[in-house]
Structure 1
Amino acid sequence: MAGRNLCLLLAGAERCMVVHSVKWFEHTHGRFYKMLHLIIISLIAFVSGKPCDTEGSNNELLLTLNKNLLRSLETQEGLPNPSVHLALRLSNYHNLAKESEHLNKLKNHLHSDIQNSLSNSQSVVGLLALYTLALKSSCYDLNSVTFTVSENNENLLTHLKKQMEQEKEHIAINHRPLTNYYQYSLGVLALCISGVRVNNHVSNKIIKAVEHEHFKHGDAESTDTYAMAGMALQCVKDAGSHVHGADELQTALSKIKQKILAAQRTDGHIGNEFSTGLAVQALLAMGSQVDECAASMEAMRADARSNTYHNPMAISQTLPALQQKSYLTVKNKNCLHEDDTLVLEPIDPVVVTPSETNVALTVEVVTSSGAAAVYSLDVPKGSSLLEALQLLKGKNVGFTFETESSMWGPFLSLVNGEQARQSDRRYWHLSSNSTALSEGVSDFKIEAAQKIIITNKSY
């Protein structure tokens, strides 16, 4: 089964079937079919030379995703998103004027927000790392970017190193980061890509976490975290800075690759629809050949065509993978002779009319103590979960909630007066008919009668 999964990932389902057919012929009929073997191998070679494409449809799809990401800059709420900027800069096509405008927003609005967080001694290592990568992708001078904390003015990379030291010390004492291993790995990646030598004591924390399988969110292993750790450790390996313990580093990279490959589903996704992009990026970064016709690539293209990736953050992690690039590509980016042909055509505004069909929705809230409260209501078909919860809150039946913003959109922070905070290692877990949701409250749509369970869980 593992061999078949690997074949599906690297070669695509159709060619995988051809290879298995050839082996069956040889085993069953011997030399008589050697000529047929040669013919089929030639056919495979011919097919391999052609991408899985129909009259440029894949190129059109990439262009559409690129434009959707560019349009999101005009409609985004809250702070400018460094992940979106990073994906736009890694793309093959550019609108340099709009990208430059967004870069200025990052340097002003996002910079001010990070400054406030640092001044309040908050751990923002993940956001600081993404900001670093976004600036680096625009070939911006990182040494000119500074923050002032306690009257000390120091550059961005110095602050990122200090944040990483705090995370490292927290792991040493509490056996987990202040934030999580995804953000910790992102910090290592940003430092390494920026040319900073990553201390062995810092990268060793990722290696040990891989060894002891600490990359979990709740009860499930986190494909996203394995992917980010893989890119971080591969960058460290390529930089040649981890000379002591090179065997342990390679062992960790091998295990990460195994974990990612083992997470591939029969439909081609790795983990889920929204972790496949990062997983493919990691495989590419670690030297695996992810063919244009691989099942994972086809799965992402199918998702893109069905508008699964309508969230800009989802597109930002998927588009580089579909163009067979990873975040490691930023390291050697020179920003010279870039294409500047991406033009946004005017689009007619979409008028959303309320659905006349209602569906039954049951909402169950389970607090940290295990106490449960159940509510029922009818909501218009196609409502987002956020809209449904707002309707429920308006019924004054005792249900209350609050949200906080993130780069993925709003997330639940307070439900029925109880918090689930990162600082407490807790979160509100969402499921529909006992299946965990892979989308947030503003993205998940209520299309049929169902039961939503909101549970205060630890991680």
Structure 2
Amino acid sequence: MLTLVIISALLVFASTKPCDTEGSNTELLLSLNKNLLRSLENQEGIPNPSVHLALRLSNIHNLAKESEHLNRLKNNLHNDIQSALSNSQPVSGLLALYTMALKSSCHDLNTVTFSVNGRSETLLTHLKNQMELEKEHIAFSHRPLTNYYQYSLGVLALCVNGIRVNNHVTKKLIKAAEHEHFKHGESESVDTYAMAGMALQCVKDSGSHVQNAAELDTALSKIKQKILASRRLDGHIGNEFSTGLAVQALLAMGSEVAECSAPMEAMRTAARSNTYHNPMAISQTLPALQQTSYMAIKSKECLHEDNTLVLEPIDPVVVSPSQAKVTVIVQVVTSSGAAALYSVDVSKGSSLLEALELLKEKDVGFTFEKESSLWGSFLSVVNGEQARQSDRRYWHLSSDGTALTEGVGDFKIEEAQKITIRNMSY
């Protein structure tokens, strides 16, 4: 029955109707590619390995700019990871993305090392060690040190680099899929199912998990079913920001996702309305729109690449401040359940982060601190209370009861609303 459900659901992804009007899809891909390349000039914080990965998986390149970014990764990001490792901080996901970014540029990973406690070991050795720590943490606490998304990234990064993944490490991911542990808060995480699907498919393709072949197949079927069950009426899978990874996973797992299928059209519609203005969002969507996935890194050769991507100079856009004001009610709910209400008037079109800065300046008792991530800024401390990954807590954001799919720097305030900032566990 499960097989029939999957087959019938996959038929929705096939389409024979023409969907490209005079090369508009090609122009859209070119535009996204340029936007991603241009984002390298304005990056704040550490350079983003996911952006590099998407640029390298693209069909056209600006090899000079990609080389510049590769050097920044090998210096700035490398130093950031070195610091985390030296301080015994879990960095499985970032280490995995760094590994895949280097692999996508055909860089010799054996030349990349980190030193911890006076001992120098290669990047891949450190990633294997991180995965062992994650696996051991699951064994006694039933959850990874980080989360199953980063755990899946680690498995995938080792696999695409031709490293045999420890059977016990893989089995923990298989069991997590079987018991539906891929959640963020109370909701199932399509992103995690997608990343786990790519990781386990890579392991299956490598032929190194023969002892648990049946379990592996069952897990892959379960993951595919979960992804397909997350389709929305508008074509997106999960939400606008998880569709790219979901399509990548379906492609990696051998499903045909046609050029004119509902998810592809949904991503193109979102791209044309500038939904994917965050570089991280583009980096996960662009490979899917080009009908490829992170699995392609495994066979990347970096030969005879199209080096025709050129960035035209653009005139700076002067944005006049909006005269229209809207009222935002901000509710903060602490881990104990205690709630506090605040109000602030902001210009239409302001980001949520700008609204919170204004509220903080009003000196009404509201305070917050933020940290940077590959997705941009996120809240770490609100009104003196922390919500840290190490405590398995985070600040959940919602607008009028609907969870936000964008971060504080990306979400725009266009109308009066109530923003709730809630300290939640995961």
Q: Which runs of 5+ in 2 are unaligned?
A: none
CA distance in 2, matches of 1:286, 1:238: 10
Written as runs of structure 1 = structure 2, the 5 A alignment for 1:302-451 is 302-451=269-418
Checking the alignment, whether the CA contact within 8 Å between 2:197 and 2:253 is kept in structure 1 is: yes
Change (3 A) 1:5 1:383: farther
Q: Which has the larger radius of gyration?
A: 1
Shift of 1:144: 0.4
Alignment counterpart, residue 138 of structure 1, candidates 105, 126, 129:
105
Compute the displacement of 1:199 (Å).
Answer: 1.1
In 2, are the aligned partners of 1:303 and 1:309 still within 8 Å (CA)? yes
Counterparts of 1:161-176 in structure 2, within 5 Å, are: 161-176=128-143
The size of the alignment, in residue pairs, is: 423
**Aligned partners of 2:176 and 2:182 also within 8 Å:** yes
- How far the C-alpha of 1:9 sits from its partner, in A, is 3.7
**Runs (4+) of structure 1 moved beyond 4 Å?**
1-5
2:6–2:225 contact (8 Å) kept in structure 1: no
Offset, 1:4:
11
| Structure 2 residue identity aligned to 1:60 | E
* Pairwise CA distance, 1:11: 2.5
Task: State the match for 2:160 in structure 1.
Answer: 193
2:112, 2:123 within 8 Å by CA — same for their partners in 1?
A: yes
1:73 matched to 2:40:
yes
Residue 325 (structure 1) shift = 0.3
1:3-55 deviation per Cα after TM superposition (whole angstroms, max 9, x unaligned): 8982674125xxxxxxxxxxxxxxxxxxxxxxxxxxxxxxxxxxx2x651000
Q: Structure 1 residues 422 and 434, CA, compared in 2 at 3 Å: closer, same or farther?
A: same
The answer for the alignment partner of 2:204 in structure 1 is 237
Offset of residue 360 of structure 1 = 1.1
CA contact (8 A) 1:8 1:295 kept: no
Residue aligning to 1:60: 27
Deviation, 1:289, is 0.3
Tell me the equivalent position of 1:225: 192
Task: Give the counterpart letter for 1:451 in structure 2.
Answer: K
Return the letter of the residue paired with 1:168.
Answer: K
**Aligned AA (1:351):** V
Q: Contact (CA 8 Å) 2:54, 2:286: kept in 1 or not?
A: yes
Shift of the alpha carbon at 1:353? 1.1
Matches of 1:164 and 1:274 in 2, distance apart? 26
1:376 Cα deviation (Å)?
1.0
Residue of structure 1 aligned with 2:261, choices 274, 291, 294? 294
- State the AA in 2 paired with 1:233: L
Q: Establish whether residue 149 from structure 1 lines up as the match of residue 116 from structure 2.
A: yes
Give the alignment partner of residue 241 of structure 2, picking from 270, 274, 277.
Answer: 274
State the one-letter code of the partner of 1:11: A
Deviations 1:129-150, CA, capped at 9 Å, x for gaps: 0000000000000000000111
Partner of 1:92: 59
**Which residue, out of 175, 192, 206, partners 2:173?**
206
RMSD: 1.3
Task: Name structure 1 gaps, 5 residues minimum.
Answer: 13-47
1:215 aligns with 2:182: yes
The whole-number CA distance in structure 2 between the counterparts of 1:162 and 1:3 is 36
Alpha-carbon distance in structure 2 between the residues aligned to 1:210 and 1:443: 31
Question: Which residue number corresponds to residue 32 of structure 1?
Answer: none
1:110-136: per-residue Cα shift (whole Å, max 9, x none)? 000100110111110000000000000
Whether the 8 Å CA contact 1:268–1:296 is kept in 2: the answer is yes
2:22 and 2:152 mapped to 1: Cα distance? 40
- Contact 1:139–1:335 (CA under 8 A) maintained in structure 2: yes
CA distance in 2, matches of 1:356, 1:66: 34
Task: Give TM-score scaled by structure 2 length.
Answer: 0.98
Contact preservation (8 Å) 1:5, 1:261:
no
**Is this contact kept in 2: 1:88–1:94, CA < 8 A?**
yes
Contact 1:228–1:282, Cα closer than 8 Å, also in 2: yes
